[in-house]
Structure 1
Amino acid sequence: MSILYHSPVIIIREFLPQEQQTFLDLFKDDEVTQYLPVTSPERYVEMFSELLENYEKNNLSRWAIFDTVNNNFIGMCVARIFTYNTAQIEIGYVLSKAYWGKGIATEVCKALTHYSFVNTNTNEVVAITDVNNSGSQHVLQKSGFERLDNLIRDEEELAYFRIERAWLF
């Protein structure tokens, strides 16, 4: 099992194959998924299979976030090639409601941004959010991201954020 990031508060690491149900349970809370694209339960199962395959193939995937104090599952995060500009890496996260408002999302964003710049040759890391997801937008801005013009995906307007390599290195 590979560890992506470790701090006194959280650990970001590969999911283990036996943690599929833990991954799937994250998406059962309507408040947790309210700003995510509509996805079927079958698609979440496919996503879990894909993330396990990605661990062997490349350095971009989805990872588990755990509490280092009690080993409770916090959520998941992702770094992947951005569909709309393959020179950019897109990051994102989904946290259990119990962990909202504790600074964890900001720590995850900073860790993923650093990881993306160190492990790829991208010069830009981006993130998109629902235009109404002010919490995640605040997290991105606190993490050093700049808000750009909104992006349209599948006829839906999304808030679009970017940070450049020069800001960190």
Structure 2
Amino acid sequence: MGMVRTMKLEFQSKRLHFRPLVEGDIDIELALWTDPEVVRFIAGEVSTVEEIRELMPVVTKRAGSGCIGIWCLIEKTTNEKIGHAALLPLPTDAEDTEFEMLQSDQWPDRDIEIGFVLKRSTWGAGYATEACARLVEFAFLEASVETIYATTNHQNLASQNVLKKCGFQDLGLIRAFAGHYPGFKIERQNY
């Protein structure tokens, strides 16, 4: 025991290259958070360029030896950034992700949730399912996460379908983001 395994925080799926989000990825974050259709089920309203710029140093923090955080998703054939996928602490009473928990190598003292956000131009091509499945694989096989949770907006049936396709179990409503939302989970022992 006690051997430190070096994590490969960059990895691939069939069509996607995953690498940790950095401040230089503000281009893809702007594309996502200023599109009303993309944010409809997440934030509800678009962010301003200033807000996004201010958040970049915050949302690029990582924890748990780098395993907890946000990955930039790059389409391998075009080299285009198409969105991001994340493993983050799931807030119960807080209204938003508690990014302040990502300032150390420690694992956040929270359940871990998976998330994915993709540019509208890529919707319907199976990228969300591919990103979700690959990040679950990373979480269980590389990062030793035991259980992964997910929550969605009540109306976000597309994301709910992605989660079910990836083997997540429907939990009904769970306490998250200071409210009650459709919740899902997948466990390593059943993976």
Cα displacement string for residues 103-138 of structure 1 (whole angstroms, at most 9, x for unaligned residues): 111111111111112343432101000010000000
* Deviation at residue 50 of structure 1 after TM alignment: 2.3
Cα distance in 2 for partners of 1:47, 1:116 equals 25
Identical aligned pairs, as a percentage? 26
Secondary structure of 1:11 counterpart: strand
Which residue pairs with 2:73 in the alignment?
65
Which residue pairs with 1:21 in the alignment?
27
Which residue pairs with 1:83 in the alignment?
91
| Alpha-carbon contact 2:90-2:176 (below 8 Å) kept | no
Cα distance in 1 for partners of 2:170, 2:64 equals 34
Give yes or no for the alignment of 1:54 onto 2:77: no
Moved more, 120-129 or 13-22: 13-22
Higher strand proportion, which one?
1
Within 5 A, what are the aligned runs for 1:1-169? 3-38=9-44, 40-41=47-48, 42-54=50-62, 58-84=66-92, 86=109, 88-153=111-176, 156-168=179-191
Moved more, 41-50 or 6-15: 41-50
Cα distance in 2 for partners of 1:138, 1:147 equals 10
Could you say if the C-alpha distance between residues 90 and 157 of structure 1 is closer, same or farther in structure 2, counting changes exceeding 3 Å?
A: same
**Structure 2: 5+ residue stretches without partners:** 1-7, 93-107
TM-score w.r.t. length of structure 2? 0.76
TM-score w.r.t. length of structure 1? 0.85
Higher helix proportion, which one?
1
Cα distance in 1 for partners of 2:55, 2:152 equals 19
Cα distance in 1 for partners of 2:23, 2:63 equals 11
Could you say if the C-alpha distance between residues 57 and 108 of structure 1 is closer, same or farther in structure 2, counting changes exceeding 3 Å?
A: same
Moved more, 16-25 or 64-73: 16-25
Secondary structure of 1:48 counterpart: helix
Cα displacement string for residues 73-122 of structure 1 (whole angstroms, at most 9, x for unaligned residues): 11011101223494532000100011111111111111111111234343
The amino acid across from 1:166 in the alignment is: Q
Secondary structure of 2:61 counterpart: helix
Cα distance in 2 for partners of 1:160, 1:45 equals 30
Structure 1 vs Structure 2 CA RMSD: 2.5
Runs (4 or more) in structure 1 with deviation over 6 Å come to: none
Secondary structure of 1:54 counterpart: coil
| Alpha-carbon contact 1:3-1:11 (below 8 Å) kept | no
Higher RCO (CA-CA < 8 Å; seq separation 6+) = 2
**Structure 1: 5+ residue stretches without partners:** none
